[in-house]
Amino acid sequence: MSSLPGDREPHGQEDGLLPAPGPSLTERLLHAKVALELTFDALPELVAILDHEGRIRRLNRSLAHRIDRPLRELIGEPLADRLPFCREWLAGATAEAPPPGPPQLHEPETGDVYEASLLRIQGAKPLLGERVVILRNVTEQREMARRMAAFERRAAIGDLLLGVAHEVRNPLAAVEAAAESLGLDAGSDPDRTMLVDIIREQVDRLSALMRDLLDVARPQPRSERRRESLVAFCRGAIDAWRRNPARRPRAVTLHAPADDELPVLIDRQRIEQVVVNLLDNAADHSPETDGIEIELARRVPGLARVRTIDRGTGAPGAAVHRMFEPFFTTRAGGTGLGLTIVKGIVEDHGGRIGAWRNEPGPGLTVEFTLPLAPEGQA
C-alpha cells in the first residue's frame, strides 16, 4: 500500500533502526544518589545519621570540619563523645521520643549556640541509621537580636536620663553660683566655711553624676577606629594609669602572649577609658599592698580577651550579676554609671563584658572581649 502525501516514518525507524535507549533505572538511581550526597555534604549545618546506640553512621563535611577529623575516622564513633556539649540532649537519641532538653545548645569552649533538631528515620530496619541529628549555628542571629534589644533598651533609658540631666543642670548651676557667693561672704568664719565646703562637695558630686548620665544617654557616634596591637595598647594604658598623680602607686602585672600581638580595630580613647575604669574599680576594692593582674589572650577564634583580676573584697553573688546595671554600686560615693558606660563602649566595639568572683578567692575577675582585626585591614 502506497503512503499518502505527508506521511513519514517515525524518527529512527526510517532505516529499520530502534530508538536510542535512555538511561536505565540503575543509572538514574545512581545519579540521584550522587546528587543527594553532594547536597548532604554541602549543607552548612552539622548533620549526622546515628544508629540505635548513638554512633555515627554517616556525617557531612561541615560536621567533620567542626570536629577536625577526617570523615572516615568518625564512622562508628559516638557523637556525644565528639560533641560533649550535646551529650545530655542526645541522651534520648536511642528512644522512640525526641530527646529532652532545650532546643538550643551552648558550647562552652567557643561560646557558640546551636539550634538542635532530631528526626526519626521511618522504616522497620533503616539501612544507615535510626536518627538524623541536625545542629544549626545560630550564634550570629542571637547576637544580632541581643544587640537590637540592648540598643532599644538603651535608647529608652537614654531619653529618660537626658530629660533628668537637663532638668537638674540648670538649678545645679544656680546652687554652685550661690555657694561661691556664700564662700566669699564667709570670710574667716570656720563654721560658715565648713558649710560652704559641704555644699561645694555635693555640687561637684552631682555635676559628676550629670556628666555620667549624659555619657550614658547620648548616642555615641561611630568613631574612627584603627588597627592596634592590643598588647602594646594595654601596656600604654597601664603606664598612663600609673602616672596619674591622683592615684596611689599600685603594682599592675600584664600577662600577654609572647608571639601574638592580638590585632584589634578600636577607638583608642574609648577603650583606654574601659581599661582605666576597670583598673580604678580593682584598686578601689582591694588592699593597697595587693597587685592587679591583666591577662590578654585569644578567647575563641576571632576574639581577643582582656581580664582584670584583683584580690580584694570581691562582690556578693547577686551584686556580680548587677555590676553593669545603671546606678548600681557597692562603692561609697560612686554614681553606679561607670561600668554601665564601660559596657556600652565594649558592646559598641562588638564585644561582650562579664564578671565573676575568683575561685578560690578572694577577689573579682572582669573580662571583656574585642573582635580581632581581619588580616590586611588597616
Alpha-carbon gap, residue 260 to 61, rounded angstroms: 30
Of the candidates 137, 158, 181, which is a domain's last residue? 137
* Residue 12 pLDDT level (bands cut at 50, 70, 90): very low
Q: Indicate whether 19 belongs to any domain.
A: no
Does 6 score more than 50 pLDDT? no
**Each residue of 249-307: pLDDT tens digit?**
889 999 999 889 999 999 998 899 899 999 998 998 888 888 999 999 988 778 999 99
Reply yes or no on whether the pLDDT at 10 is more than 60: no
Question: Of the ranges 89-98, 151-160, 245-254, which one carries the lowest mean pLDDT score?
Answer: 89-98
pLDDT of residue 376: 64
pLDDT in tens, 164-216: 777 777 788 888 888 888 888 777 788 888 888 888 888 887 777 777 677 66
pTM of the predicted model as reported, rounded to 2 decimal places: 0.55
Query: Residue 106 carries which DSSP code?
Result: E
For residue 95, pLDDT beyond 50:
no
Instruction: Check whether residue 208 and residue 348 sit in a common domain.
Output: no
| C-beta separation of 353 from 365 below 8 A | no
Q: What pLDDT sits at residue 370?
A: 94
Domain around 295: 224-378
* Whether residue 128 sits in one domain with residue 49: yes
- Residue 26 in any domain: the answer is no
Q: Distance between CA atoms of 367 and 296, rounded to whole angstroms? A: 10
CA distances from 106 to 59, 66, 94, 136, 375 (A): 21, 15, 22, 12, 28
184 lies in the same domain as 51: no
Contact between 255 and 294 (Cβ < 8 Å): yes
Residue 340 covered by a domain? yes
What's residue 46's pLDDT? 92
Helices (H) and strands (E) in the chain, counts: 10, 12
Q: Are residues 243 and 325 in the same domain?
A: yes
Q: What is the CATH number of the domain that holds 236?
A: 3.30.565.10
Digit-coded pLDDT (tens) for 336-362: 778 888 988 898 888 999 998 888 878
Residues 169 and 267 occupy one common structural domain: no
Q: Answer yes or no: is 10 within a domain.
A: no
Same domain, 111 and 100: yes
Q: Which pLDDT value is given to residue 126?
A: 59
204 and 243 in a common domain = no
**Model confidence at 1: pLDDT above 50:** no
Q: Does 1 reside within a domain?
A: no
Domain count, the chain: 3
Q: Are residues 146 and 39 in the same domain?
A: no
The proportion of the chain whose per-residue pLDDT surpasses 70, expressed as a percent, equals: 81
CATH code: domain of residue 124: 3.30.450.20
Residue 21 lies in a domain: no
Residue 3 lies in a domain: no
- 12 found inside a domain: no
pLDDT digits (tens, 9 = 90+) for 316-338: 766 787 888 877 777 666 667 78
Q: Which of 116, 137, 158 is the last residue of a domain?
A: 137
Contact by Cβ (8 Å): 346, 353: yes
Same structural domain for residues 117 and 253?
A: no
Q: How far apart are CA 76 and CA 82, in angstroms?
A: 11
- Distance (Å, whole) CA 106 – CA 98: 19
Residues 230 and 377 in one domain: yes
In whole numbers, what is the pLDDT of the chain averaged over residues?
80
| Same domain as 170, residue 83 | no
127 and 157 in a single domain? The answer is no
Q: Which of 118, 137, 156 is the last residue of a domain?
A: 137
